[in-house]
Amino acid sequence: MKQITIISGKGGTGKTTVASNFIKMAHDHIAVDADVDAANLHILLSPQIENREDFIGGAVAVVDENCISCGKCEELCRFDAISNSTENIKIDTLKCEGCGVCEYICPVNAITLQKGKQGEYYTSSTKYCKLVHARLDPAAENSGLLVTRVRNIAEDIAYRENKKLIIIDGAPGIGCPVIASLNGVDYALIITEPTLSGISDFKKIYEVAGFFNIRTFVCVNKFDINIENTELIENFCNSKNIEVIGRIAYDENVPKALARKEFITDYPDSPAAKDIIQLYKKIETQLYN
């Protein structure tokens, strides 16, 4: 069983368009939406939820009324998560790493580490394959942990059902969820665009994929909006031995199809659809080898 993660250094490069159309064209596969902070693969795939579970993230410290405001916990919290304003101890749950030091040193046992629900994850059926996806609560942390959770579920299903491929729509950016979506996969496909910010973000995400030593392909989306920048990206890839596997033309039909919740490959004669189909054909032999 092979796994491919489709990533981009930033949002809005067409990553999910490519991922969703790959999912539509593939066979014997499972899909994962690893963009747990802003999942949107479900918009096109219209999943029917078969199983829903709570995501319990890492523990955070909670102070009770026994606190005598001695200030020891504030002094010792190395994550600067505790403040002692107006004699009330407050824990900043976004900064708390759940290390347990405050619970250990509190002289009156006024602190406990508690775990809480931070989101949900789902196993769903779609017209094309099973989809494992998730929703992280607003302001909840640990999206990397949630990505690992959905990937583990997808792997279990794939082994159980003898699937040959997992297609992962990765998170944008270069943070924890991206790292969690790349860890242990066979291939990374970077979707980039020929703008200055696109080039800069592409180089960052390439370094992340390089760290994991993953075989990496690159595709320039909307390549024809700036041919010079497209060539800059492709020359950079050639100098680093990164395989440029395709270009996708700018195509006004893409946002129109999305607005109608349709796949661009439902319109195989449109320029972007032709390029995405071609891209998939090129990569397909690697995926099922």
Interface residue list for ligand SF4 (CB under 6 A):
61, 63, 67-73, 77, 79, 81-82, 89, 91, 96-102, 106, 108, 110-111
**Cα 228 from Cα 234, distance rounded (Å):** 10
Sign of CA dihedral 143, 146, 152, 157: negative
- Three-state DSSP at 58 gives coil
State which residue, 93 or 195, has the beta carbon closest to ligand SF4.
93
Cβ 57 vs Cβ 142: under 8 Å: yes
Give the shortest CB-267-to-ligand SF4 separation in angstroms. 52
How many Å apart are CA 78 and CA 176, to the nearest integer?
Answer: 21
- Shortest distance in whole angstroms from residue 83 CB to ligand SF4: 10
What minimum distance in Å lies between the beta carbon of 93 and ligand SF4?
9
- CB-CB contact of 250 with 229 (8 Å): no
Q: In terms of CB distance, is 65 or 228 closer to ligand SF4?
A: 65
Q: CB of residue 141 vs ligand SF4: minimum separation in angstroms?
A: 12
Which residues contact residue 213 at a Cβ distance below 8 angstroms, ignoring those fewer than 6 apart?
none
Q: Which residue, 46 or 66, is less far from ligand SF4 as judged by CB?
A: 66
Calpha distance 281→84 (Å, rounded):
60
- Please give the Cα distance from 42 to 239 (Å, whole number): 37
Closer to ligand SF4 by Cβ: residue 59 or 249: 59
Q: Would you say 70 or 249 has its CB closer to ligand SF4?
A: 70
Give least dist CB 174 to ligand SF4, A: 25
